[in-house]
Amino acid sequence: MVPKATSVPPPPEHARAPLDLPARFEAAGDVRGRKALVSGGGRGLGLAMACALAEGGAAVAIAGRHREFLDLASHELERRGPRPVLVEADVSDPESARAAVREAAGRLGGLDVLVNNAGSGARGRPEELSEDDYDRIFDTNVKGLYYASCEATAVMAAGGSIVNVASVAGMVPDVELAAYCASKAAVIQLTRVLAVAWGGRGVRVNAVAPGYTDSPLNAHRKADPARAAAVVNGTPLGRWGTPADVAQAVVFLASRASAFVTGQVLTVDGGYSVQR
């Protein structure tokens, strides 16, 4: 038996108002005209991020401690965009971190995007790590990020974007990475603090939190069949992440497509952290 039709009430008056749509939507990978600095951009995930930004149309500067890596990275970047600016810096030193931002902004003619990617780590349980281990990791992962960000926000106009590289290790404990986990948890909370502090200036601060990614940093884990299988089996999407997965998330947060996103952590881990 067909149910009796019921009358549908008219929509409320506010539902009749036209929707304010833009003439065109911003593309998530479009960073044309943006000027970006990537710390630790000479190799690994940092290089992938720099390449993705260059392909999206950004003018890119990369900072790192080793000139050799910067020079090698420059060749790759020139295949994808304008010649990059190379800045030798050690962000674990506060003045070097600040100077890197100043130099990049000066040579690029401004700064719209800062990607705080440079990082340090050490394997070891809490009781096994030395004071020097903790100092080195926090000096790079937390303090370097903080000083570079403070310098960047002083030169960024409204619309600037700071993207911090956190990690699922900042959310999922790993007793073999005690100091690293603690430092990345600090990055996540500092991201939120800076987003609140600088929102009034129009500067957005977000983070990406990669999971297990097929990069040189995880080569030892991937070379161990049992540990590599555990990563895949523990990831709902059933694979390792790629540098491109992380880099494209960074470009989204650097682009105008994320103009109303701040204080957030975009987890790029194939669902690994969801089922921990």
Q: What is the mean pLDDT of residues 252-267?
A: 97
Amino acid at 163: V
- Using a cut of 0.75, tell me whether the model's pTM lies above it: yes
Q: What percent of the chain has pLDDT over 90?
A: 78
Buried-exposed string 163-192: b where 16+ CB fall within 10 A, e elsewhere: bbbbbbbbbeeeeebbbbbbbbbbbbebbb
Q: pLDDT digit string (tens) for 101-125?
A: 999 999 999 999 999 999 898 888 9
Q: Where are the domains of the chain?
A: 29-212+244-270
4: pLDDT confidence band, cut at 50, 70 and 90? low
180 is catalytic: yes
Return d(Cα 233, Cα 250) in angstroms, integer. Answer: 26
Q: pLDDT digit string (tens) for 121-171?
A: 888 899 999 999 999 999 999 999 999 999 999 999 999 999 999 999 999
Give me the residue label for tokens 């600095």.
37
Select from 3.50.50.60, 3.40.50.1860, 3.40.50.720, 3.40.50.510 the CATH code of 29-212+244-270.
3.40.50.720
219: pLDDT confidence band, cut at 50, 70 and 90? confident
Q: Which residue in the list 147, 180, 212, 272 is annotated as catalytic?
A: 180
Tell me if 205 sits within 8 A of 159, measured CB to CB.
no
pLDDT at residue 234, rounded to an integer: 92
